[in-house]
Structure formats: C-alpha cells, structure tokens
Amino acid sequence: QVQLVQSGAEVKKPGASVKVSCKPSGYTFTGLFIHWVRQAPGQGLVWMGWINPNSGDATSAQKFQGRVTMTRDTSIGTAYLELSSLTSDDTAIYYCATSLSPYLTFWGQGTLVTVSS
Amino acid sequence: EIVMTQSPATLSVSPGERASVSCRASQSISSHIAWYQQKPGQAPRLLIYGASTRATGVPARFSGSGSGTEFTLTISSFQSEDSAIFFCQQYHDWPPLTFGGGTKVEI
C-alpha cells in the first residue's frame, strides 16, 4: 500500500531554514505528484506547492514564493521541502501528500516544525 | 484565488443523527471539490472527490452533493468514531489549491 514517511520534528531559530523530507513507498516515485500542505496549531490547511518528481518541475503558492524550495532525489525516491527565513508564524505541521489528481489521496504523518528563539 | 467558506464552524450531533457540513466557493468550481476528515493528532484523510465520489474504504454513510458554488458533506447516521474536523478543498482553478476553514463535528 502507498505510504509516505516524513522526517522527524525540528526546532529552529528565527531566520534559519528547515528542510523536511518525504519518502513514498508502494508505488513508482516518479508516477505521482507530491504536494506540500501546512497546518499551524489549531488552524486550517494551507497548500504550499507541488512538485512533479519525474521532471523536477515545482510550483509554489504565491504566499511562499521566494522562501520555499521543493526538490527531489530520484536516486533515493525522496522529496524535500525547504523553507527559509523562518519566523514564529512558520510554526506548523508540514505534510506531504500525493495523488495523480489535485485532490490529495495519500498523506504523510506530518513533520512538526517549531520556530522559537 | 478561490475562497472556500465552510459552515458551521462547530456542529454537535447525537449518535445516529444526520450531520451536514456546508462549503461555499467564491466562484463556480463545477464538481471539483474534495472533502477530508482529520482526527486529533492525525493527517487528513480523503473522504470524497468530484463532489460525490467516495474514496476507497470510506463508509457509505458519508456522502457529498452539490455543484457550482454550494456543496454539502452529509453523514447519514453519525457514529462516535466520526468525530473530527472536516475540510473542503477546491481543485477547479489552481494553483493554488484552497481549503475551507474546517468544521468541527462532535458528539
């Protein structure tokens, strides 16, 4: 079955960067798009962007443009989300999710990123 | 960007009752809406896509309806294990994908 395993929780200082990984299994890595969604404590879901693991083409939401980088390493079947210039507003759970269509069928377990001085 | 507005914010239901959650889009999205269920400490789970198609393994008591700008998620006979926050999401005009603010449904 399809599973997405994300990297562990991170604690970062304001101004730093964080890189979260997402390793899918149960399907061909290049066969499905990967989306990134975040959820601040007690808040709703915010879409951050998506990457085509086959081509490496990525599109981020305008809100995050200039601060977010989505990449993948096809040799190890892993996708990455990097967010820079962190502030306390970036404290959230970051999810990767995958699907052939733009509704999100399979989700990772989430990675908690805490930004605190 | 298409704005998705959910109502109510919180809904209290008794076991066996019918529960309905509404989602309104700021412009027509045809049937390009999905619904998710999120339980505490868990990732969201896809329930419905295409406005009314249940995802694999989703019980038949969950149903979706609507088109254009008005949509409804209905739980026909609420079970205690259904307590969760429910989100709608449009994929008609993206990027960005946009979500509703969520509806907490509890006993």
Q: What is the pLDDT of residue A101?
A: 87
Residue of A nearest to B53 (CA): A103
A67-86 confidence digits (pLDDT tens): 999 999 999 999 999 999 99
Q: How confident is the model at residue A100 (pLDDT cuts 50, 70, 90)?
A: confident
**Residue type for position B78:** F
Give the residue from B21, B54, B86, B97 with the most A CB atoms within 10 Å of its CB, the best one to mutate: B97
Q: Are B64 and B48 in contact (CB under 8 A)?
A: yes
Task: Please enumerate in sequence order all residues whose Cβ is within 8 A of that of B17, keeping only pairs 6 or more positions apart, or say none.
Answer: B77, B78
Tell me the residues of A at the B interface, defined by beta carbons under 8 Å apart: 35, 44-47, 49-50, 59, 61-63, 95, 97, 101-105, 107-110
End-to-end Cα distance, chain A: 40
Give the residue from A20, A37, A104, A105 with the most B CB atoms within 10 Å of its CB, the best one to mutate: A104
Q: Are B90 and B2 in contact (CB under 8 A)?
A: yes
User: What does residue B95 show for φ and ψ, rounded to 5 degrees?
Assistant: -75, 155
pLDDT at residue A99 is higher than 90: no
3-state secondary structure of A14: coil
Cα distances (Å, whole numbers) of residue B63 to A13, A30, A45, B34, B76: 44, 32, 22, 11, 8
B32-59 confidence digits (pLDDT tens): 999 999 999 999 999 999 999 999 999 9
CA distance A37 to chain B (A): 10
CA distance B33 to chain A (A): 8
3-state secondary structure of B59: coil
Q: Is the peptide bond before B95 cis (omega within 30 degrees of 0)?
A: yes
